[in-house]
Amino acid sequence: MAGGVLADEGALKRAHLYEHRITAYFIFACIVGSLGGSLFGYDLGVSGGVTSMDDFLIEFFPGIYKRKQNHMHETDYCKYDNQILTLFTSSLYFAGLISTFGASYVTRIYGRRGSILVGSVSFFLGGVVNAAAKNILMLILGRIFLGIGIGFGNQANL
């Protein structure tokens, strides 16, 4: 056993209780649980693609667009150096992290159904705010709602 120095003797006596077959239900539960993590990966790909689109940059980050156009033959490493753009990208992940603490409370009190409902409503509001965004503040607020939805959804899956 790895780390056997800190092993609890009581845990070793209960090990036989956890020896079961791998069932279709178990595999399905693992797949559903992993879908929560795939939401973060999908968003990372989408937000990375969106932040490099010219139409998006012209609308919300004209300074970055000008810098990108002035240095066409260089790497993109420093062209996207902007704190607000970083806030736009990371707000979803930070909101997801923080919301899991509240989601655990909601799940404990109201069950998984309550947590799924809060996450669904938050995710819907985030989509609406992002679709109607006219400025960067609305985009960041929408991504915070999306992050809360993902945080609650992950809590309900686990």
* pLDDT at 129 exceeding the cut of 60: yes
> Residues 86, 152, 131, CA angle at the centre, nearest 5°?
50
Q: Mind listing the pLDDT tens digit for each residue in 10-39? A: 656 766 666 777 888 888 888 877 776 777
Distances (CA, A) of 33 to 38, 46, 65, 142, 152: 9, 21, 39, 24, 13
**Cα–Cα dist 50/114, whole Å:** 32
Tens of pLDDT, residues 67-113: 888 876 666 666 677 788 889 888 998 999 999 898 989 988 998 88
pLDDT at 9 over 80: no
Quote the pTM value.
0.72
- Summary mean pLDDT of the chain: 82
Angle between helices 24-51 and 136-157 (to 10 degrees): 170
